[in-house]
Protein backbone atom coordinates (compact mmCIF):
# COMPACT_ATOMS: atom_id res chain seq x y z
CA UNK A 1 0.00 0.00 0.00
CA UNK A 2 2.87 2.31 0.70
CA UNK A 3 4.26 1.77 -2.80
CA UNK A 4 0.81 2.35 -4.37
CA UNK A 5 0.33 5.66 -2.44
CA UNK A 6 3.72 6.88 -3.55
CA UNK A 7 2.93 6.20 -7.21
CA UNK A 8 -0.51 7.85 -7.06
CA UNK A 9 0.77 10.99 -5.24
CA UNK A 10 3.81 11.57 -7.43
CA UNK A 11 1.94 13.18 -10.40
CA UNK A 12 0.20 15.55 -7.97
CA UNK A 13 3.48 16.39 -6.28
CA UNK A 14 5.10 16.99 -9.67
CA UNK A 15 2.22 19.27 -10.73
CA UNK A 16 2.38 21.25 -7.50
CA UNK A 17 6.11 21.62 -7.92
CA UNK A 18 5.53 23.06 -11.39
CA UNK A 19 3.00 25.52 -9.94
CA UNK A 20 5.43 26.57 -7.23
CA UNK A 21 8.22 26.98 -9.76
CA UNK A 22 5.99 29.00 -12.08
CA UNK A 23 4.78 31.19 -9.23
CA UNK A 24 8.32 31.82 -8.06
CA UNK A 25 9.35 32.72 -11.61
CA UNK A 26 6.44 35.10 -12.07
CA UNK A 27 7.04 36.75 -8.71
CA UNK A 28 10.69 37.12 -9.59
CA UNK A 29 9.66 38.86 -12.80
CA UNK A 30 7.35 41.14 -10.87
CA UNK A 31 10.12 42.01 -8.47
CA UNK A 32 12.73 42.46 -11.16
CA UNK A 33 10.63 44.50 -13.57
CA UNK A 34 10.95 47.86 -11.78
CA UNK A 35 14.62 47.22 -11.02
CA UNK A 36 16.06 48.04 -14.47
CA UNK A 37 18.41 50.41 -12.73
CA UNK A 38 20.84 52.87 -14.25
CA UNK A 39 23.23 55.38 -12.77
CA UNK A 40 23.82 58.65 -14.59
CA UNK A 41 27.34 59.63 -13.55
CA UNK A 42 28.27 61.85 -16.55
CA UNK A 43 31.43 59.87 -17.26
CA UNK A 44 30.45 59.37 -20.92
CA UNK A 45 29.21 62.95 -21.42
CA UNK A 46 31.74 65.29 -23.09
CA UNK A 47 33.32 68.09 -21.06
CA UNK A 48 31.81 71.27 -22.44
CA UNK A 49 29.58 74.27 -21.76
CA UNK A 50 25.90 73.79 -22.60
CA UNK A 51 23.24 76.28 -23.63
CA UNK A 52 19.49 76.13 -23.24
CA UNK A 53 17.93 73.21 -25.11
CA UNK A 54 21.05 71.06 -25.31
CA UNK A 55 20.15 67.40 -24.75
CA UNK A 56 22.79 65.13 -23.26
CA UNK A 57 22.41 61.36 -23.27
CA UNK A 58 23.61 58.62 -20.95
CA UNK A 59 22.41 55.11 -20.10
CA UNK A 60 19.05 55.51 -21.84
CA UNK A 61 18.18 58.89 -20.30
CA UNK A 62 17.86 62.28 -21.98
CA UNK A 63 19.22 65.19 -19.94
CA UNK A 64 17.97 68.53 -21.23
CA UNK A 65 19.72 71.74 -20.21
CA UNK A 66 17.25 74.53 -19.37
CA UNK A 67 17.87 78.28 -19.14
CA UNK A 68 15.24 79.45 -16.66
CA UNK A 69 15.63 83.16 -17.45
CA UNK A 70 12.93 84.95 -19.39
CA UNK A 71 13.50 84.38 -23.09
CA UNK A 72 15.90 81.49 -22.49
CA UNK A 73 18.58 80.56 -24.97
CA UNK A 74 21.56 81.27 -22.71
CA UNK A 75 24.31 79.31 -21.01
CA UNK A 76 22.87 77.05 -18.32
CA UNK A 77 25.13 74.05 -17.70
CA UNK A 78 28.60 72.59 -17.91
CA UNK A 79 30.53 69.47 -16.99
CA UNK A 80 33.33 69.68 -14.45
CA UNK A 81 36.26 67.33 -14.01
CA UNK A 82 36.74 66.92 -10.26
CA UNK A 83 40.32 65.77 -10.81
CA UNK A 84 41.28 69.04 -12.51
CA UNK A 85 41.83 71.86 -9.98
CA UNK A 86 41.65 74.46 -12.76
CA UNK A 87 38.06 73.48 -13.63
CA UNK A 88 36.83 75.90 -10.98
CA UNK A 89 39.82 78.19 -10.55
CA UNK A 90 37.98 80.79 -8.42
CA UNK A 91 36.73 78.09 -6.08
CA UNK A 92 33.09 77.68 -5.24
CA UNK A 93 32.73 74.17 -6.69
CA UNK A 94 32.31 71.08 -4.51
CA UNK A 95 35.73 69.69 -3.63
CA UNK A 96 35.01 66.13 -2.45
CA UNK A 97 34.34 64.54 -5.84
CA UNK A 98 37.18 63.23 -8.01
CA UNK A 99 35.05 62.34 -11.04
CA UNK A 100 33.07 64.20 -13.68
CA UNK A 101 29.92 65.90 -12.45
CA UNK A 102 27.23 68.14 -13.90
CA UNK A 103 27.02 71.80 -12.93
CA UNK A 104 23.78 73.70 -13.34
CA UNK A 105 25.09 77.26 -13.67
CA UNK A 106 23.59 80.74 -14.13
CA UNK A 107 20.28 79.73 -12.50
CA UNK A 108 19.92 76.86 -14.99
CA UNK A 109 17.95 73.63 -14.57
CA UNK A 110 18.31 70.05 -15.79
CA UNK A 111 15.31 68.07 -17.03
CA UNK A 112 15.60 64.26 -16.98
CA UNK A 113 13.42 61.82 -18.94
CA UNK A 114 13.81 58.37 -20.45
CA UNK A 115 14.81 58.43 -24.10
CA UNK A 116 12.00 56.01 -24.97
CA UNK A 117 9.41 58.12 -23.15
CA UNK A 118 8.71 55.52 -20.45
CA UNK A 119 8.30 56.04 -16.73
CA UNK A 120 11.13 55.85 -14.23
CA UNK A 121 11.92 56.36 -10.56
CA UNK A 122 14.62 58.44 -8.91
CA UNK A 123 15.92 57.10 -5.60
CA UNK A 124 19.23 58.80 -4.78
CA UNK A 125 21.94 61.14 -6.02
CA UNK A 126 25.00 63.11 -5.01
CA UNK A 127 24.50 66.86 -4.95
CA UNK A 128 26.04 70.10 -3.80
CA UNK A 129 25.88 73.88 -4.07
CA UNK A 130 28.08 75.86 -6.46
CA UNK A 131 29.07 79.25 -5.09
CA UNK A 132 30.34 82.17 -7.23
CA UNK A 133 33.74 81.94 -5.48
CA UNK A 134 35.34 79.98 -2.67
CA UNK A 135 35.83 81.12 0.91
CA UNK A 136 32.16 80.89 1.87
CA UNK A 137 30.90 80.54 5.44
CA UNK A 138 29.88 77.04 6.44
CA UNK A 139 26.12 76.86 6.20
CA UNK A 140 23.44 75.91 3.69
CA UNK A 141 22.73 78.56 1.07
CA UNK A 142 19.62 77.07 -0.42
CA UNK A 143 17.95 73.93 -1.70
CA UNK A 144 18.03 71.53 -4.60
CA UNK A 145 14.44 71.44 -5.87
CA UNK A 146 12.80 68.60 -7.82
CA UNK A 147 9.61 69.17 -9.82
CA UNK A 148 8.34 65.97 -11.40
CA UNK A 149 5.56 64.87 -13.72
CA UNK A 150 3.98 61.58 -12.66
CA UNK A 151 2.51 58.98 -14.99
CA UNK A 152 -1.31 59.20 -15.20
CA UNK A 153 -1.41 62.14 -12.76
CA UNK A 154 -2.32 65.66 -13.88
CA UNK A 155 -0.44 67.59 -11.19
CA UNK A 156 3.31 67.68 -10.61
CA UNK A 157 4.97 66.70 -7.36
CA UNK A 158 7.87 68.51 -5.69
CA UNK A 159 10.69 67.65 -3.35
CA UNK A 160 13.58 69.68 -1.91
CA UNK A 161 16.92 69.02 -0.22
CA UNK A 162 18.93 71.56 1.77
CA UNK A 163 22.39 72.01 0.30
CA UNK A 164 25.27 70.76 2.46
CA UNK A 165 27.78 73.23 3.87
CA UNK A 166 31.40 73.96 3.01
CA UNK A 167 34.84 72.53 3.70
CA UNK A 168 37.60 74.08 5.82
CA UNK A 169 38.50 76.64 3.14
CA UNK A 170 34.94 77.60 2.29
CA UNK A 171 34.26 75.49 -0.82
CA UNK A 172 30.92 73.62 -0.99
CA UNK A 173 30.72 69.87 -0.42
CA UNK A 174 28.91 67.04 -2.14
CA UNK A 175 26.40 65.03 -0.10
CA UNK A 176 24.58 61.77 -0.92
CA UNK A 177 20.81 61.93 -0.57
CA UNK A 178 18.29 59.09 -0.53
CA UNK A 179 14.91 60.53 -1.47
CA UNK A 180 11.94 59.77 0.74
CA UNK A 181 9.86 56.69 -0.20
CA UNK A 182 6.84 58.69 -1.39
CA UNK A 183 8.88 60.48 -4.04
CA UNK A 184 11.31 57.63 -4.79
CA UNK A 185 8.47 55.18 -5.51
CA UNK A 186 6.61 57.49 -7.91
CA UNK A 187 6.46 56.59 -11.59
CA UNK A 188 7.90 59.75 -13.13
CA UNK A 189 7.76 60.77 -16.77
CA UNK A 190 10.16 63.69 -16.25
CA UNK A 191 11.86 65.53 -13.42
CA UNK A 192 13.33 69.05 -13.50
CA UNK A 193 16.10 69.86 -11.05
CA UNK A 194 17.20 73.39 -10.14
CA UNK A 195 18.42 75.44 -7.18
CA UNK A 196 16.71 78.03 -5.02
CA UNK A 197 18.44 80.36 -2.53
CA UNK A 198 17.39 81.10 1.03
CA UNK A 199 16.05 84.63 1.28
CA UNK A 200 16.55 85.21 5.02
CA UNK A 201 12.79 85.18 5.64
CA UNK A 202 12.29 81.41 5.98
CA UNK A 203 11.81 81.11 2.24
CA UNK A 204 13.79 79.76 -0.68
CA UNK A 205 13.36 81.65 -3.94
CA UNK A 206 14.44 81.42 -7.55
CA UNK A 207 16.19 84.53 -8.96
CA UNK A 208 13.61 86.46 -10.95
CA UNK A 209 15.69 88.60 -13.29
CA UNK A 210 18.78 90.66 -13.90
CA UNK A 211 17.81 93.12 -11.17
CA UNK A 212 17.63 90.36 -8.56
CA UNK A 213 20.62 90.42 -6.17
CA UNK A 214 20.90 86.63 -6.54
CA UNK A 215 20.82 86.64 -10.35
CA UNK A 216 23.01 83.84 -11.80
CA UNK A 217 23.86 82.50 -8.32
CA UNK A 218 21.33 79.66 -7.95
CA UNK A 219 23.73 76.93 -9.02
CA UNK A 220 24.09 73.25 -8.23
CA UNK A 221 26.20 70.14 -8.83
CA UNK A 222 24.89 66.63 -9.56
CA UNK A 223 26.46 63.19 -9.82
CA UNK A 224 25.58 59.49 -9.51
CA UNK A 225 21.86 59.86 -10.14
CA UNK A 226 20.18 56.50 -9.43
CA UNK A 227 17.28 55.88 -11.80
CA UNK A 228 15.18 52.81 -12.55
CA UNK A 229 12.72 51.99 -15.30
CA UNK A 230 9.13 51.53 -14.12
CA UNK A 231 7.16 49.05 -16.29
CA UNK A 232 3.85 50.04 -17.77
CA UNK A 233 0.79 48.81 -15.83
CA UNK A 234 -0.17 46.56 -18.77
CA UNK A 235 3.12 44.69 -18.47
CA UNK A 236 2.47 43.87 -14.83
CA UNK A 237 -1.09 42.84 -15.66
CA UNK A 238 0.15 40.38 -18.29
CA UNK A 239 2.54 38.83 -15.79
CA UNK A 240 -0.30 38.55 -13.28
CA UNK A 241 -2.57 36.93 -15.87
CA UNK A 242 0.17 34.48 -16.74
CA UNK A 243 0.56 33.52 -13.10
CA UNK A 244 -3.21 33.07 -12.70
CA UNK A 245 -3.43 30.89 -15.80
CA UNK A 246 -0.53 28.78 -14.61
CA UNK A 247 -2.14 28.28 -11.20
CA UNK A 248 -5.52 27.37 -12.79
CA UNK A 249 -3.87 24.88 -15.11
CA UNK A 250 -2.05 23.34 -12.16
CA UNK A 251 -5.28 22.98 -10.16
CA UNK A 252 -7.01 21.29 -13.10
CA UNK A 253 -4.09 18.90 -13.55
CA UNK A 254 -4.08 18.08 -9.85
CA UNK A 255 -7.88 17.47 -9.87
CA UNK A 256 -7.55 15.19 -12.92
CA UNK A 257 -4.80 13.19 -11.27
CA UNK A 258 -6.91 12.81 -8.11
CA UNK A 259 -9.84 11.52 -10.23
CA UNK A 260 -7.66 9.05 -12.12
CA UNK A 261 -6.02 7.77 -8.94
CA UNK A 262 -9.39 7.33 -7.31
Mean pLDDT for 50-59 is 98
Residue 94 CA to residue 101 CA, distance in Å, equals 10
- Give the residue with greater pLDDT, 51 vs 234: 51
CB-CB contact of 28 with 248 (8 Å): no
Query: What pLDDT digit, counting tens, does each position of 127-150 carry?
Result: 999 999 999 999 999 999 999 999
Mean pLDDT for 78-101 is 94
Residue 36's pLDDT band (cuts 50, 70, 90): confident
pLDDT at 26 over 70: no
Q: What is the pLDDT of residue 257?
A: 58
Residue 68's nearest CA partner among 115, 112, 104 is: 104
Residue 40 CA to residue 38 CA, distance in Å, equals 7
pLDDT at 240 over 60: no
CB-CB contact of 1 with 243 (8 Å): no
Q: What is the pLDDT of residue 4?
A: 46
Q: What is the pLDDT of residue 37?
A: 94
The residues pairing with 143 across neighbouring beta strands, listed in sequence order, are: 162, 196
Using a pLDDT cut of 70, give the percent of the chain over it: 76
Residue partners of 142: CB distance under 8 A and separation at least 6: 129, 162, 163, 195, 196, 197, 198, 204, 218
Number of CB atoms found within 10 A of residue 18's CB: 14
Residue 136 CA to residue 90 CA, distance in Å, equals 12
**Among the ranges given (56-60, 72-76, 84-88), the one the predictor scored with the smallest mean pLDDT:** 84-88
Q: Return the SS3 of 18.
A: helix
Residue 100 CA to residue 43 CA, distance in Å, equals 6
- Mean pLDDT, the chain, integer: 85
Q: What is the pLDDT of residue 21?
A: 53
pLDDT at 58 over 90: yes
**Among the ranges given (90-94, 149-153, 239-243), the one the predictor scored with the smallest mean pLDDT:** 239-243
User: Of 178-182, 210-214, 248-252, where does the model show the most confidence?
Assistant: 178-182
Instruction: Name the CA dihedral angle for 36, 41, 45, 47, rounded to a multiple of 10 degrees.
Output: 170
CB-CB contact of 41 with 99 (8 Å): yes
CB-CB contact of 173 with 96 (8 Å): yes
Residue 254's pLDDT band (cuts 50, 70, 90): low
Residue 254 CA to residue 46 CA, distance in Å, equals 61
Q: What is the pLDDT of residue 7?
A: 46
CB-CB contact of 147 with 189 (8 Å): no
Amino acid sequence: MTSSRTRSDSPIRFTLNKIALGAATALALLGAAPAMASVVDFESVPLDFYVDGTVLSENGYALQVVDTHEGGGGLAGTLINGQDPTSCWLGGCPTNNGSRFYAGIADGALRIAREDGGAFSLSSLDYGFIAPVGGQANFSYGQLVFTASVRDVADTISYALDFPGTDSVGNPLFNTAFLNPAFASSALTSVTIRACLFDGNSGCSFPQGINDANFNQAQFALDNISLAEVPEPGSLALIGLGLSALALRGRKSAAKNNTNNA
